[in-house]
Structure 1
Amino acid sequence: MTTPAKTSGLRQMVGHASIYAAGNIMRQLVGFLMLPIYTRYLTPADYGVIGLMTFAISLIEPLFGARLGMAIPKYYADAEAQCKKALVVSTALLTTGSVSVLTTLVLIYCRQPAAESLFGSAEYATIVGLFAVLITTQALEYDTLIFIRLQQRPWLFVGVNLVKLIVQLSLNIWLVVFKQLGVYGIAISAMSSSVFFAVILICYTFYHVGFHFDKIVAQKMIIFCWPLWLAGLVGLYIGSSNRYFLKIFSSLGDIGLFELAVKFSAIISMLIWEPFQQYWQIERFRNHKEENAKEIFQNVFYAVSNILAIVSLGVIIFSGPVIDIMASADFYKASYAVPFLTAGTFFSCLSTYFNFSFFVTENTKWMSRINYLVAIVITFFYFIFIPLWGFVGAALAVAIAQAVQFVVVYRLSSRFYDMEISLKSLGHILLIAGVACGCTSALLLAEFDFWGDVFTRTVVYALAVIFIIYPIWLNPSTRAVIHDIALILRRKRSY
């Protein structure tokens, strides 16, 4: 039976994880909440410029921004004295800040050739210069928010993210809607809000840790992080290189349509997977030591895969009407890519679940090897599908590559730590989802009006959900997992 102390600790952990998850969601909400404005005041090509520029900055940041955020928690925990902990944070900020500033200045100076290389024209050189500032400010924001988490101040973490959300939304609306600056308004808003909050957070952090630098600590953190930077680049290539391939083989307009579709597929990650991971990434190591560990892993997998499937299917079925409501006609075709991108996100989440086998047995090198394989697979399909079907082809390539990654991770992970998870339930889910999508497409050939369309989709979705969740209630262990999760959440709300 669980002791009061253990229950209290678990409740605190889940509570903090939920608060941090809410903060992380707020950091990502701007792009989604602004979609009705972006899709009415920007063209698909304008939206494509933002997507391509975001990809370019993300590519530069890991290696040329010296981001040490992944090392801060480790060396902070290793340091015993409080002054040593403060030294770790201060050293990380000074290292990241100095390297990032240098990279930013170089990119601003070279903004015209950079724009020509990225867009084929110097027309967007100013955009490149504005986004270059984010290399410094976003890295410093990230590191200082890690410090707030290390202080165990979840409400401050949420407060900062909430205020930034409000500020950035306000700036976007003012600059895009009222000033009608278009893509330049978005760039100015992103830069201004990031600079403002980076300065505030840096002042807060240095106030608490002081202004110190240790060369040896900096070297240790860089040595720790550089393999992760390389692995991150491969992951970034898998997830974002489609924008550049679309620029080569298609158009900026297709990048804009693809970018809109990505926002919808990201819903399941933002609302379901990331909050779950905030809790599970710690709890899974504890469960691994239990006598019934494999049973726990199996039941959690069945529960979370069903939840992911239900939400994913909802995104696929209802994305069309939602896009029709909130976007201009130029963006309607974006819904064609949503099913493939959502399927890719679904498989990516499940792959992450099985990655635990590599972590717990210290075989993380296999994760990099698998990423290299997936990078080759996705590149192959980009070359085939993008010239044929543009942004829809890119989405199809993502879905296939992520499915391949899931199969490979599932098979290889069992060699190191076999959770003995059967994929029969997953096959059942995929079959139902496929039938539901097929029925929706077939019924819509009748060309209903808008509300008839929504009603048809709702009926199909409701029936699919019933067929998906029915097996859950036939499994007492899975029901118990869901009951425990609900119990923890109810307790959390009462405190």
Structure 2
Amino acid sequence: MKNFIKGRLQPYKKFLGNVSVVLVANVIKIALGVVLIPIYVRYITPGDLGKFDLIMSAVPILNQIISMGLTNSINKFYLAGHNRAYLVYIQKKLVRHTLLLSGMLLLIYLLTYTYSRHFISFSIFLLALSLLVLENASVVQLRIYALHENFKRSSTVSIVKDLIRYTSLILLVLFMEDKLLALFLGNLVSWAYLFFQTRKDNKVYLGGSAKLTEEQIAELKAYAFPLLFLGLSGFFYLSLDRIMVGMFADSIDQVGYLGIAQRFTTVLALGLGSIGTVLGIRMFKTDNLPELLKIQNRYILFLALLITATLFGYILFKKWVIHFLLTDRYEAAFPIGILLLMSLFWNKSRENVEYLFLVKGETAVISKIFVFFTLLNMTLNYFFILKYNALGAVIATNIAFFLHMSVLLFMAHRENHKINLLPYWTGIGTNLFAVFYLAYT
């Protein structure tokens, strides 16, 4: 029996090892995140947190414009032959695009300073630009860990970054009068560490004189360009709700309620996303998709059960969650958190089904589907926010995520991918329970 079990697990040994390393790291990050939430709710007003989240909501769309789809092409092209020239080319492009865009934004701010300063101070604007530069300069360096499945080092660097970030945030929020400035400074310190550490660890992959041929560059751009629209749609899909809440909700506080609920569910998403990252790398490195599909089916089932258990626990311990984590100031974030848990399930499910098409290079069709559901999500957000404020944004996103995942699932079945539907039915049942709970409490 022992040899039988050992033989069955052998093909998954490296995969399970990588998942275990990343999960342990994320358990530590989850603990750190949970510690920070009470600091946020006790020392930062919903208005200040809303302003911070609103400003930072612009970063994902700027990242996609800077990337032009190149970042999302790294897995496919580098893993095909471990050609360092792809990493060097993409890194240089990201740095150049970031500096050019940052210069343009700074010029626009200075030319419109009379009006711009009423929305965002010059110091906050410079800190936000600095975060944009550091984040894009670190993208390729950070991705190299995953490309070589060096998850132990990646996890260590990530934990240290979060320790620096949370320590800085706690100290700055406690002792600085300007809480908004404290939030930006705390994040900037941690990103500075990440940039220099990842550069030191992975400079061997980014040096030298390796260059791509004109044909290789053309092929890379042809694959990457549709991913630009996928990435932009991803921003509108995942981040535009904050901006729309800021525009159409009753007050900026509603952005703060949405932000604290998102931080609560992001803590859970860290662990789930780590498995998806490892799974994605494995799918791009092998042609044995049926075997990996089995792993994927088990992951989605695990995801459905975990989300269901978390949701019931969240509701069961409602008084404790509000008293210790949210406080009366952020009590309005509690129902938002319920539906965010469900949208997390639909989104992670969508990402995993999407992998089946991306590994085959079907970026164009995936991008078109993404754009359609992005537009649907924006439309639903507008009407639901007018009626239900921040809660309406989550309702709209939940509907869009579910329909998007359903279409991809139908397409996968049509291509004869053997997908276990039990997790999805479990998710539907849990979602219905959440809706009835919110409707009658």
Question: Comparing both chains, which one has the higher relative contact order based on Cα–Cα distances under 8 Å and sequence gaps of 6 or more?
Answer: 2
- Kindly indicate whether the alpha-carbon contact (under 8 Å) linking 2:79 and 2:147 is maintained by their aligned counterparts in 1: no
Query: CA shift at 1:193, angstroms?
Result: 2.5
- Kindly indicate whether the alpha-carbon contact (under 8 Å) linking 1:90 and 1:210 is maintained by their aligned counterparts in 2: yes
- Kindly indicate whether the alpha-carbon contact (under 8 Å) linking 1:258 and 1:391 is maintained by their aligned counterparts in 2: yes
Amino acid at match of 2:101: T
- For residues 120 and 399 of structure 1, the distance between their equivalents in structure 2, rounded to whole angstroms, comes to 35
Amino acid at match of 1:262: Q
Equivalent residue number for residue 18 of structure 2: 16
Query: CA shift at 1:198, angstroms?
Result: 1.1
- For residues 182 and 116 of structure 1, the distance between their equivalents in structure 2, rounded to whole angstroms, comes to 24
1:182-201 matches, cutoff 5 A: 182-201=179-198
Amino acid at match of 2:53: G
Q: Return closer, same or farther for 1:225/1:21 CA change in 2, 3 Å cut-off.
A: farther
Deviation sequence 1:422-466 (CA, Å, 0-9, x none):
45x744664466457756986xx7xxxxxxxxxxxxxxxxxxxxx
- Kindly indicate whether the alpha-carbon contact (under 8 Å) linking 1:264 and 1:319 is maintained by their aligned counterparts in 2: no
For the pair shown, which has the larger CA radius of gyration, 1 or 2? Answer: 1
Aligned length: 434
Equivalent residue number for residue 69 of structure 1: 71
- For residues 145 and 419 of structure 2, the distance between their equivalents in structure 1, rounded to whole angstroms, comes to 39
Q: Return closer, same or farther for 1:351/1:154 CA change in 2, 3 Å cut-off.
A: closer
Amino acid at match of 1:130: L
Q: Any stretches of 5+ residues in structure 2 without a counterpart? A: none
- For residues 132 and 252 of structure 2, the distance between their equivalents in structure 1, rounded to whole angstroms, comes to 23
Amino acid at match of 1:281: G
1:159-238 matches, cutoff 5 A: 159-207=156-204, 209-212=206-209, 214=211, 216=213, 221-238=220-237
Query: CA shift at 1:115, angstroms?
Result: 8.6
- For residues 425 and 150 of structure 2, the distance between their equivalents in structure 1, rounded to whole angstroms, comes to 42
- Kindly indicate whether the alpha-carbon contact (under 8 Å) linking 1:61 and 1:67 is maintained by their aligned counterparts in 2: no
- For residues 208 and 265 of structure 2, the distance between their equivalents in structure 1, rounded to whole angstroms, comes to 42
- What is the aligned-residue RMSD (CA, Å)? 3.6
Q: Return closer, same or farther for 1:225/1:246 CA change in 2, 3 Å cut-off.
A: same
Query: CA shift at 1:267, angstroms?
Result: 3.9
Q: Return closer, same or farther for 1:385/1:358 CA change in 2, 3 Å cut-off.
A: same
Deviation sequence 1:69-115 (CA, Å, 0-9, x none):
333344433446xxxx4443333322222221222233234336789
Query: CA shift at 1:234, angstroms?
Result: 0.5
Equivalent residue number for residue 36 of structure 1: 38
Amino acid at match of 1:10: Y
- Kindly indicate whether the alpha-carbon contact (under 8 Å) linking 1:268 and 1:312 is maintained by their aligned counterparts in 2: no
Query: CA shift at 1:236, angstroms?
Result: 1.5
Q: Return closer, same or farther for 1:410/1:210 CA change in 2, 3 Å cut-off.
A: closer
- Kindly indicate whether the alpha-carbon contact (under 8 Å) linking 1:320 and 1:335 is maintained by their aligned counterparts in 2: no
Deviation sequence 1:132-190 (CA, Å, 0-9, x none):
11222112222112223344433221221122112112211221112333010111121
Secondary structure (helix, strand or coil) at the match of 1:71 reads helix
Query: CA shift at 1:28, angstroms?
Result: 7.9
1:85-484 matches, cutoff 5 A: 85-111=83-109, 121-207=118-204, 209-212=206-209, 214=211, 216=213, 221-250=220-249, 251-271=251-271, 273-281=272-280, 288-289=289-290, 301-318=300-317, 321-359=320-358, 363-419=362-418, 421-422=420-421, 426-427=424-425, 430-431=428-429, 434-435=432-433, 438=436
Amino acid at match of 1:157: S
Deviates more, 1:189-198 or 1:431-440: 431-440
Amino acid at match of 1:48: G
- Kindly indicate whether the alpha-carbon contact (under 8 Å) linking 1:343 and 1:399 is maintained by their aligned counterparts in 2: yes
Identity %: 17
- Kindly indicate whether the alpha-carbon contact (under 8 Å) linking 1:305 and 1:350 is maintained by their aligned counterparts in 2: no
Query: CA shift at 1:204, angstroms?
Result: 3.9
Deviates more, 1:52-61 or 1:307-316: 307-316
- Kindly indicate whether the alpha-carbon contact (under 8 Å) linking 1:65 and 1:135 is maintained by their aligned counterparts in 2: no
Deviation sequence 1:278-316 (CA, Å, 0-9, x none):
4443666666446xx988776665454333322344345
- For residues 135 and 267 of structure 2, the distance between their equivalents in structure 1, rounded to whole angstroms, comes to 22
Equivalent residue number for residue 56 of structure 1: 58
Deviates more, 1:281-290 or 1:254-263: 281-290
Query: CA shift at 1:44, angstroms?
Result: 0.6
- For residues 282 and 199 of structure 1, the distance between their equivalents in structure 2, rounded to whole angstroms, comes to 24
- For residues 377 and 433 of structure 2, the distance between their equivalents in structure 1, rounded to whole angstroms, comes to 26
Q: TM-score, normalised by structure 2?
A: 0.84
Q: Return closer, same or farther for 1:412/1:92 CA change in 2, 3 Å cut-off.
A: closer
- For residues 24 and 70 of structure 2, the distance between their equivalents in structure 1, rounded to whole angstroms, comes to 23
Secondary structure (helix, strand or coil) at the match of 2:96 reads helix
Deviation sequence 1:16-72 (CA, Å, 0-9, x none):
233245556777876654221122111111111121122101111111255743333
Q: Return closer, same or farther for 1:298/1:169 CA change in 2, 3 Å cut-off.
A: closer
- Kindly indicate whether the alpha-carbon contact (under 8 Å) linking 1:313 and 1:433 is maintained by their aligned counterparts in 2: no
- For residues 227 and 385 of structure 1, the distance between their equivalents in structure 2, rounded to whole angstroms, comes to 30
Amino acid at match of 1:265: T
Deviates more, 1:31-40 or 1:225-234: 31-40
Secondary structure (helix, strand or coil) at the match of 1:143 reads helix
Amino acid at match of 1:258: L
Query: CA shift at 1:392, angstroms?
Result: 1.1
- For residues 223 and 428 of structure 1, the distance between their equivalents in structure 2, rounded to whole angstroms, comes to 39
Query: CA shift at 1:7, angstroms?
Result: 5.0
Amino acid at match of 1:199: F
- Kindly indicate whether the alpha-carbon contact (under 8 Å) linking 2:307 and 2:342 is maintained by their aligned counterparts in 1: no
Query: CA shift at 1:207, angstroms?
Result: 4.9
Q: Return closer, same or farther for 1:65/1:420 CA change in 2, 3 Å cut-off.
A: closer
Query: CA shift at 1:391, angstroms?
Result: 0.6
- For residues 262 and 402 of structure 1, the distance between their equivalents in structure 2, rounded to whole angstroms, comes to 16
- For residues 9 and 55 of structure 1, the distance between their equivalents in structure 2, rounded to whole angstroms, comes to 41
- For residues 122 and 407 of structure 2, the distance between their equivalents in structure 1, rounded to whole angstroms, comes to 42
- Kindly indicate whether the alpha-carbon contact (under 8 Å) linking 2:165 and 2:186 is maintained by their aligned counterparts in 1: yes
Amino acid at match of 2:414: R
Q: Return closer, same or farther for 1:253/1:218 CA change in 2, 3 Å cut-off.
A: farther
Q: Return closer, same or farther for 1:7/1:409 CA change in 2, 3 Å cut-off.
A: closer
- For residues 353 and 200 of structure 1, the distance between their equivalents in structure 2, rounded to whole angstroms, comes to 30
- Kindly indicate whether the alpha-carbon contact (under 8 Å) linking 1:261 and 1:338 is maintained by their aligned counterparts in 2: yes
Q: Return closer, same or farther for 1:367/1:26 CA change in 2, 3 Å cut-off.
A: farther
